[in-house]
Amino acid sequence: MAKRALITGITGQDGYHLAELLNEKGYEVYGIIRGQENPKRLVIEQEQPYVKLIEADLTDMTSLVRAVKTAQPDEVYNLGAISNVGFSFNNPQVTADITGKGVLNVLEAIRITGGEKTARFYQASTSEMFGGLDYNRPGDGYDENSLFHPRSPYGVAKLYGHWITKNYRESYGMHASCGILFNHEGPHRGISFVTRKITDAVARIHLGKQDHIELGNLDPKRDWGYAGDYVEGMWRMLQQDKPGDYILATGETHTIGEFLTLAFKEIGIDDWKPYVKQNPLYMRPAEVDILLGNPAKAEKVLGWKRQVDFEGLVKMMVKNDIDIQSKLAN
């Protein structure tokens, strides 16, 4: 019989890739969609017709209980969240409700419906929980034992989700795992995140639709990988006999300036500086200056390794945005 998976955050970047992967593996895929007029419903119905959509919201426990009852899942992937760090500074309470307490709601929905012994659970934890400060940052990158020091309402909410997942593992014997994922990007990345914001702008500049891009702090460094590689790691975590926590990262870190250099190079521009203006609107009250992950455990235990490198990622994203913009009218 086909395995059944329930994904929260099906309309997001990782939801797209994970649904595709699980469908290829023969799973019956259920996805939670929220809101009465979610425009992404049509996109999923057209592009991923194999996904069975269930209306629910991470803040509405009754809807989650109904979703778990309907899907009867063997595996639950909790990807749903307010995931934009900048947004979380202006919207800390809703971030706490969705990104933090939403995790508890899903875990409880599984327990209430008697699924704690049968359903395996994946929590989308994040490198934002580390904070990038000198005192807790090992030279070879953060690993599963590094100290947490979140620097945003998003990071703090995620830390709650991380610990409540571990608590349900320890308290109720749930097969509940946390993937501590470093930044991962691709053509399905939301437009407000810095990589996609850049590749979208580069495509428009190339086609003469825009003459510059406004960004915030260009100095932070990130460990950027490809989202398609990372969902494979999520799945592998839930195939282990025992639950656990795993870092997924590339082990390399790059500045936003380096991303800009490669992206502009794709359209034949060597010096991006004339095309970039800094706007304080995009600065954060507290910044994570550097993120670098050490994926040694995932490589050893899960046999996982990223496939797409930094340059390949930038190329893929610029090409995708040029294709999209070329098809659109001005």
Partner from ligand NAP, ligand GDD, none contacting 190, C-beta within 5 to 8 A by type? ligand NAP
228/17 Cα distance (integer angstroms): 6
Closest contact distance (angstroms) between CB of 173 and ligand NAP is: 24
Closest contact distance (angstroms) between CB of 85 and ligand GDD is: 4
110, containing H or E segment: helix 102-112
Q: Is 152 in the site for ligand NAP (CB under 6 A)?
A: no
Closest contact distance (angstroms) between CB of 283 and ligand GDD is: 7
248/245 Cα distance (integer angstroms): 10
Extended beta strands in 9-64, E state = 28-33, 52-55
Instruction: Check if 253 is active-site.
Output: no
Interface mask toward ligand NAP for 173-192; x: CB under 6 A: --------x-xx-----x--
Q: Is 220 in the site for ligand GDD (CB under 6 A)?
A: yes
Q: What six digits make up the tokens of 180?
A: 């501590």
**What are the residues whose beta carbons fall under 8 Å from the beta carbon of 252, sequence distance 6 or more?**
223, 292, 310
Chain center to CA of 258: 22
SS3 10: coil
Closest contact distance (angstroms) between CB of 196 and ligand GDD is: 8
Contact 186, 17 (CB under 8 A): yes
Neighbours of 80 (CB within 10 A): 27
Instruction: Check if 299 is active-site.
Output: no
Instruction: Check if 11 is active-site.
Output: no
Contact 214, 278 (CB under 8 A): yes
Partner from ligand GDD, ligand NAP, none contacting 287, C-beta within 5 to 8 A by type? ligand GDD
> Which of residues 89, 160, 163, 282 is near ligand GDD by CB under 6 A?
282
Contact 8, 63 (CB under 8 A): no
Interface mask toward ligand NAP for 19-58; x: CB under 6 A: -------------x-xx--x-x----------------xx
Give the catalytic positions in this structure. 126, 128, 154
Interface residue list for ligand NAP (CB under 6 A): 8-15, 32, 34-35, 38, 40, 57-59, 79-83, 98, 124, 126, 181, 183-184, 190
